[in-house]
Amino acid sequence: MNNEYAHQQCLALMEALIQYRHQPIYRQLRRFGKRQSMLHSDVLQLLYHLGRIARGGILEIGAFRGGSTVAVALGLRQSGAAKKFITIEQGGRLRGHRLGTRNILHTLKRNLGRQGVDDIVTVVKGRSSEDYVVAAVKRALAGEKLGLIVLDADAEVKRDLERFGLHMIEHCWVVIDDYGGSADAEKSAPIKCQVDEFVAAGSLLPLGYYGNATWFGQWLKPLPAR
């Protein structure tokens, strides 16, 4: 992978974001995100962009209320392409938070319906660590390779990249939240360590860091066998 390619991809992301900031979709996602997402509005906008341009299926792990899910789905719908979009969410409840909800899955599906994208998103209930969930994702993909994967669940991003790496095309877009944060953060520290391992091995290509903590890059190849 040459530096010129990485440079071009980095610039393309930044230029896309600058252009979107002057379009109605940016204001739409910013308003929606304040009510439904912990992600920065720039991240939501880039997820919309990647939903538009991804050259394969889409997998999200950790949908929560659906802020990122809706952003990607709106981009996918705008593209007009018939790509599969699967999101994994274990459900449950969240208390004591401004985005708290008594039923995460219900809130997720309600938001997908209200935004008119429930027909293009397949929701799989469970954890990505569970074999039946992985099997359900593979069935839903029906052989289609992934062109975009969004990781925003637990800190085990290495597990998810290894499980789904064989289903990703080369240069599959990879978005990983909680890469940034304080050095001793319970989630960000292990995520950063794992992502950096993939980068050092030539498996991931870093292309940017947006919002408060979200890493953007591309998939190149699996980690070497040990």
**Cβ(41)–Cβ(26) under 8 Å?**
yes
The pLDDT of residue 1 is 57
The pLDDT of residue 186 is 79
Distance CA(104)–CA(93), nearest Å, equals: 6
The pLDDT of residue 197 is 96
DSSP label at 52?
Answer: H
pLDDT means per 10 residues, the chain with 226 residues, are 88 97 96 91 98 97 96 97 96 80 93 96 97 96 97 94 95 96 75 96 96 94 72
Question: 146 lies in a domain?
Answer: yes
Q: What's CA 142's distance to the chain center, in Å?
A: 20
Question: 225 lies in a domain?
Answer: no
Question: 224 lies in a domain?
Answer: no
The pLDDT of residue 226 is 58
How many CA atoms does the CB half-sphere of 12 hold within 13 Å? 12
Token code pair at residue 133: 């969930």
- Identify the CATH number of the domain in which residue 26 sits: 3.40.50.150
The pLDDT of residue 96 is 77
What is 74-127 written as a DSSP string? HHHHHHT----EEEEE----B-SSTT-BS-HHHHHHHHHHHTT-TTS-EEEES-
The number of folded domains in the chain is 1
Predicted structure pTM score: 0.94
Sheet architecture: strand order including 214-219: 122-125, 85-89, 57-61, 146-151, 168-176, 214-219, 204-210
What is 156-192 written as a DSSP string? -HHHHHHHHGGGEEEEEEEEETT-SS-TT-TTHHHHH
Name, in order, each residue with C-beta under 8 angstroms of 179's C-beta and a sequence gap of 6 or more. 188, 191, 192, 195, 209, 213, 214, 215
Range of the domain at 135: 3-219
Question: 226 lies in a domain?
Answer: no
